[in-house]
Amino acid sequence: MKKPEELRSHQWYGTDGLRSFSHRARTRQLGYLPEEHLGKPVIAVLNTWSDINPCHVHLRERAQAVKRGVWQAGGFPLEFPVATLSETYQKPTPMLYRNLLAMETEELLRSYPVDGAVLMGGCDKSTPALLMGAASADLPAVFVPAGPMLPGHWRTEVLGSGTDMWKYWDDKRAGLIGDCEMAELESGLARSPGHCMTMGTASTLTAAAEALGMTVPGASSIPAVDSGHDRMAAASGMRIVDLVREDLRPSAILTREAYEDAVATVLALGGSTNAVIHLIAMAGRSGVPLTLDDFDRIARTVPVLANLRPGGRYLMEDFHFAGGLPGFLTRLRDAGVLHLDRPTVAHKTLGEQLTGALVHDDDVIRPLDRPLAAEGGVAVLRGNLCPDGAVVKHIAAEPHLLEHTGPAVVFDDYRTLQRTIDDPGLGITEDSVLVLRGSGPLGGPGMPEYGMLPLPDHLLKKGVRDMVRISDARMSGTSYGACVLHVAPESHVGGPLALVRTGDLITLDVRARTLRLEVDDAELERRRAQWQAPPPRYGRGYGALYQDQITQADTGCDFRFLARPGEVPEPYAG
């Protein structure tokens, strides 16, 4: 148990020098009495609330519940607004800024008088960003997931944000619905604060945070506007104060075993392919070498058990009442794939934490003998088109496409694709393989979620709803289809994707885990000799730092200087 004078914040407030006097005087200026904070753990509440982020718009108010918990437990909360990464609005993609929020998180925690942190976020990249920063700062931390929004509604239909947006957009393009229906859908797709309520990237990553042991038990599935979300926030505020006193840090929680369990969890959830990149990056910050091969190996040992859109039927609120992540994890425990002896922020082992957890609906959270798919939702592909790997969420694809050879139709960038995809002159048939390049970490930049390439409208009108698509982009976790993603190395740095020409045959074989460009090596060498690297995009600013430091998809797209091991001294506070 830490004594008050052993707290990190003591260096700022409790010593005899002039600086300490000044810090105390300024805390009086903030309006606090000495007895309100001296000797108490200082808890930074990192809040990604913003007026423009609908997934986090309730977090300004929710921070009050966190603070309430901190006060109750004898700590001193201070709220810090940090960057908001809104999946919907931020261009070219918030993925460009994940590492910026990770840096901000780490450096805020290091440079201020902070003993522990509550991290508030949930929209897609916010979760990995906050956890990456907290892992690097290595102060005790609890993650408070923003919570899923309520289920969407349109007339008698229940809608998934994202997933149904793609579906109805295709229906509109196919002429099945018109402007009136679209106007109604606009008000029904997302009907409350909170992150996307399908098993998209947000739900996948918040579930991963819980599986890692970085949230209070059961936190990740509580709907954002449920009163239970307030109670969870208060409980998180209480827990962090004890974590500081116990000195239980992310480095003790974010172990190899924890990351393997998080991988098993996201695969068994049928979660977003984005989790592959983020978990590899997060593990890197914890000094745990996690690779694409770990995903493929673990995928073969876990079935898909969550019947959630886009791969299944239900939404996050159904999952919550079916038992949430604790109930879900009992299934993985019973399958023998979890490491039950590892610590979590709940001050219990994972195994103890799951005692008493139950599944209440076997259709939402399937039993092991009735899975949605026998193997985890993501397969890792190798081959001459992706020497450093690619991923495909095969459970969200039409099965007949999982073994397919077809002629490539190549697009050099997304704008060209958008402009020309409906052109009948391209000769695209349902057997074609659509290839998009220039959309990777550098080419995109930021690997935008272009990976679910739109289909030509003449095929949509014929009823075609899936085709093999290949890119160095990512795909929204709410998307679906036979989309091969994260091709590494990307075309922008001269990966083989840069050498594909329209008409080349490409073979996808998910069972064999291969992706092959059926062009001989000599011809590929000739094409390589003619290839010219594109000029750098950014002359200055954050983009220049990004282009200088970003790693490829297979290693998590962290910045090299952030991912590498090395000492960072504590600041001198005297």
Cα 138 from Cα 98, distance rounded (Å): 18
Peptide bond into 81 cis (omega under 30): no
Residue 116 or 477: which CB sits closer to ligand FES? 477
Does position 547 interact with ligand FES (CB under 6 A)? The reply is: no
126 is a site residue for Mg ion (CB under 5 A): no
- Which amino acid, residue 216? V
To ligand FES, the closest distance from the beta carbon of 347 in angstroms equals 30
From the CB of 149, what's the least distance to ligand FES, in Å?
A: 8
Residue 88 interacting entry, from Mg ion, ligand FES, none, C-beta within 5 to 8 Å by type = ligand FES
Q: Which residues contact 193 (CB under 8 A, 6 or more apart)?
A: 54, 55, 56, 57, 58, 149, 224, 225
* 117 and 143 Cβ atoms separated by less than 8 Å: no
Q: Which residue type is seen at 55?
A: C
Residues 177-236 binding ligand FES (CB under 6 A) are 195-196, 200, 202
Binding site partner of 381, from Mg ion, ligand FES, none, Cβ cut-off 5-8 A by kind: none
Q: Residue count at the site for ligand FES (CB under 6 A)?
A: 10
Q: Virtual CA dihedral for 81, 83, 89, 91, nearest 10 degrees?
A: 160
Beta pairing, strands 157-159 & 152-154: antiparallel
- Pairing relationship of beta strands 116-121 and 141-145 according to DSSP bridges: parallel
Q: What element of type H or E holds 42?
A: strand 42-47
Q: What SS3 class is residue 406? A: strand
C-alpha 33 chain-centroid distance: 41
Out of Mg ion, ligand FES, none, what residue 83 binds, judged by CB under 5 to 8 A for its kind, is none
The correct pick among 123, 165, 232, 346 for binding ligand FES (CB under 6 A) is: 123
The overall longest dimension of the chain from CA atoms, in Å, is 79
Nearer to Mg ion, 70 or 275 (CB): 275
Q: Is 164 in the site for ligand FES (CB under 6 A)?
A: no
Answer for which of 43, 46, 55, 354 binds ligand FES (CB under 6 A) is 55
Candidate residues 88, 291, 405, 549; the one interacting with ligand FES per rule CB under 6 A: 88
Smaller CB separation from ligand FES, 123 or 135: 123
- Contacted by 123, from ligand FES, Mg ion, none: CB < 5 to 8 Å by type: ligand FES
Q: How far is the CB of 201 from Mg ion (least distance, A)?
A: 4
Cα 67 from Cα 144, distance rounded (Å)? 12
Q: What are phi and psi of 295, to 5 degrees?
A: -60, -45
* Binding to Mg ion, residues 68-87 (CB under 5 A): 87
Q: Which does 37 bind (CB under 5 to 8 A by kind): ligand FES, Mg ion, none?
A: none
Smallest CA-to-CA distance from 44 within 94, 8, 15 is with 8
**Residues in 465-524 at the binding interface with Mg ion, rule: CB under 5 A:** 476
Which string of x and - marks every residue 183-202 that binds Mg ion (by CB under 5 A)? -----------------xx-
Using CA atoms, how far apart are residues 475 and 486, in angstroms rounded to an integer?
9
Residue 558 in contact with ligand FES, rule: CB under 6 A:
no
CB of residue 196 to Mg ion, shortest distance in Å: 6
- The distance of closest approach from Cβ of residue 45 to ligand FES in the complex, given in angstroms and rounded to an integer, is 20
Return the number of other C-beta atoms located less than 10 Å from residue 503's C-beta. 11
Cβ closest to ligand FES, residue 202 vs residue 386: 202
